């Protein structure tokens, strides 16, 4: 783990000796971005919520600490085997709880407690999440939706104060696709009086996974996965046991490790139906990418063909795979134009990839990648979760040795990535600070 007891970060690094073709199969963890909203949803339940398949990640530990501060009892139960960890959450009395800045600033997903606290207790006080490395990431859509449902919100000393005697159903149209905005309001609407229509809703599989959990808890929801979600308020929600979906972003990262090294990798547990855009781009780049019993397999033998990528809300190409795919395109046979349409500053991996010999020109939200025959290992600095993964992939394919510093960014979203890559034949070790 990267954290010392008091949550301070240690500066572990990865040392990667590149050039090995990765082959074999490895397990994909439960999806971080499905576990976090599921943990928030437990605040709505009058009984225990058990989440099965929870990876050991820093963000999940942080969210567990937040729920503890909000009065919940959070226990980790050894699961039925690896990757089957069970998180059991029993909400307590969060009436006077506050989500503090020092926790929220490290994890923006904390905003997901806003809807549940308002719906269950009629009030919430959470620190306004600051921006983060990849962008300003405002939460205006969350707040406007809650106000349309009758909540009063104000900002004082960096904290959002929200209150509502009783939330009422409303017709809400999002200005843009927002994943946690859709999740927050869907949760708030489950206990509101009347029916809520969420239009221009996000269609990510993680939103659908949350809807499945809420329905298991007694919520009346339909339309998840489409542009309009309809939620009919009920009086209360009970506990449930929920098997969380596989992490499609981690799966894409592991499969790209196979593709970039010219290997043959199977991501066990991955659900191909949630990965169409990524698998299609892998095929266009000259790799074989197919659903196989129990997972998804990617193989590449020929040259990497340069392809263009434009990130978009689901089912488009996921922004969370953009950095990893760019590393892959650095070794393409021509030009690849990569456009990032979701976040305003998600090219921080470019400067680091250039240090390895990559040829990348950035103009606004577009990066033009001219493929080169080889990347060479170098000391690199991780800056955010998915950019770190991009640097690891580049290191796996580069000649020589690559050191990736500040991999605490990586530990936020990938459980013991070095073990999984080693099981596929990679030469990668974690060096403690």
Q: Least distance in Å: CB of 178 to ligand EPZ?
A: 3
Q: Least distance in Å: CB of 330 to ligand EPZ?
A: 21
User: In Å, how far from its chain's centre is CA 288?
Assistant: 25
Residues pairing with 291 in the sheet: 296
Identify whether 315 is preceded by a cis peptide bond (ω within 30 of 0): yes
Annotation marks residue 208 as catalytic? no
Q: Least distance in Å: CB of 309 to ligand EPZ?
A: 15
Nearest in space to 133 (alpha carbons), one of 408, 345, 428: 345
Q: Least distance in Å: CB of 416 to ligand EPZ?
A: 17
Q: Least distance in Å: CB of 136 to ligand EPZ?
A: 6
Nearest in space to 328 (alpha carbons), one of 338, 340, 341: 338
Question: What is the bridge-based pairing of β-strands 49-52 and 240-243?
Answer: parallel
Q: Give the tokens for residue 339.
A: 């456009």
Q: Least distance in Å: CB of 5 to ligand EPZ?
A: 25
CA atoms within 13 A on the CB side of 85: 17
Task: Choose between 25 and 366: whose C-beta lies nearer to ligand EPZ.
Answer: 366
Catalytic residue among 26, 132, 208, 330: 132
- Please give the DSSP secondary-structure letter assigned to residue 413: T
In the complex, the residues that contact ligand EPZ under the rule CB under 6 A are 33, 36, 108-109, 135, 137-142, 176, 178-181, 319-320, 342-343, 385-386, 413
> Greatest CA span in the chain, whole angstroms?
63
Task: Choose between 33 and 306: whose C-beta lies nearer to ligand EPZ.
Answer: 33
343 within 8 A of 364, measured Cβ to Cβ: no
Task: Choose between 59 and 264: whose C-beta lies nearer to ligand EPZ.
Answer: 59
Task: Choose between 299 and 349: whose C-beta lies nearer to ligand EPZ.
Answer: 349
Q: How many angstroms separate the CA atoms of 167 and 145, rounded?
A: 11
Residue 114 DSSP SS3: helix
Task: Choose between 188 and 378: whose C-beta lies nearer to ligand EPZ.
Answer: 188
102 contact partners, CB below 8 Å, separation of at least 6: none
DSSP string covering 345-414, please? T--THHHHHHTTT-EEEEETTEEEEE--S--B--EEE--SHHHHHHHHHHHHHSBSEEEEE-THHHHTT-
User: Environment class of residue 84 by beta-carbon count within 10 Å: exposed (0-12), middle (13-18) or buried (19+)?
Assistant: middle
Task: Choose between 319 and 402: whose C-beta lies nearer to ligand EPZ.
Answer: 319
Question: What is the bridge-based pairing of β-strands 295-299 and 288-292?
Answer: antiparallel
The residues that are catalytic are 132
């Amino acid at each position: 783990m990267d954290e010392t007891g008091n949550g301070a970060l240690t500066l572990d690094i990865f040392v990667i000796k590149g050039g090995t073709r990765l082959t074999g199969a490895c397990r994909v963890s439960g999806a971080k971005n499905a576990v976090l909203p599921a943990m928030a949803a437990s605040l709505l339940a009058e009984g225990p919520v058990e989440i099965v398949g929870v990876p050991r990640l820093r963000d999940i530990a942080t969210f567990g600490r937040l729920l503890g501060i909000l009065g919940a009892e959070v226990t980790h139960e050894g699961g039925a085997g690896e990757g089957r960890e069970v998180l059991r959450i029993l909400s307590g009395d969060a009436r006077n709880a506050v989500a503090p800045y020092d926790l929220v600033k490290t994890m923006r997903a904390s905003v997901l407690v806003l809807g549940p606290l308002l719906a269950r207790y009629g009030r919430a006080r959470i620190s306004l999440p600051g921006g983060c490395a990849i962008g300003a990431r405002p939460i205006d859509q969350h707040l406007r939706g809650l106000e349309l449902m009758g909540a009063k919100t104000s900002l004082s000393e960096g904290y959002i104060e929200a209150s509502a005697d009783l939330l009422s159903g409303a017709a809400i149209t999002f200005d843009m696709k927002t994943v946690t905005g859709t999740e927050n309001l869907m949760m708030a609407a489950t206990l509101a009086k009347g029916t809520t229509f969420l239009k221009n809703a996000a269609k990510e599989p993680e939103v659908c996974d949350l809807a499945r959990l809420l329905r298991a808890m007694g919520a009346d929801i339909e339309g998840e996965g489409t542009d309009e979600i309809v939620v009919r308020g009920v009086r209360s929600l009970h506990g449930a046991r929920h098997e969380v979906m596989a992490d499609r972003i981690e799966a894409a990262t592991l499969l790209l490790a196979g593709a970039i090294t010219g290997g043959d990798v199977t991501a066990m547990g991955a659900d191909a139906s949630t990965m169409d855009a990524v698998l299609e781009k892998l095929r266009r780049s000259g790799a074989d990418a197919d659903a196989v019993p129990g997972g998804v397999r990617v193989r590449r033998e020929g040259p990497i063909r340069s392809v263009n990528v434009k990130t978009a809300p689901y089912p488009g190409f996921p922004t969370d795979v953009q950095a990893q795919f760019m590393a892959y395109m650095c070794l393409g046979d021509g030009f690849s134009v990569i456009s990032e349409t979701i976040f305003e500053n998600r090219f921080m991996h470019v400067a680091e990839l250039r240090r390895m010999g990559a040829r990348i020109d950035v103009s606004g939200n577009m990066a033009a990648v001219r493929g080169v025959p080889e990347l060479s290992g170098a000391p690199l600095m991780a800056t955010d979760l998915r950019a770190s993964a991009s640097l690891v992939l580049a290191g796996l394919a580069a000649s020589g040795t690559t050191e990736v510093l500040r991999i605490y960014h990586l530990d936020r979203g990938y459980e013991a990535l070095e073990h999984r890559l080693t099981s596929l034949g990679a030469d990668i070790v974690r060096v403690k600070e």
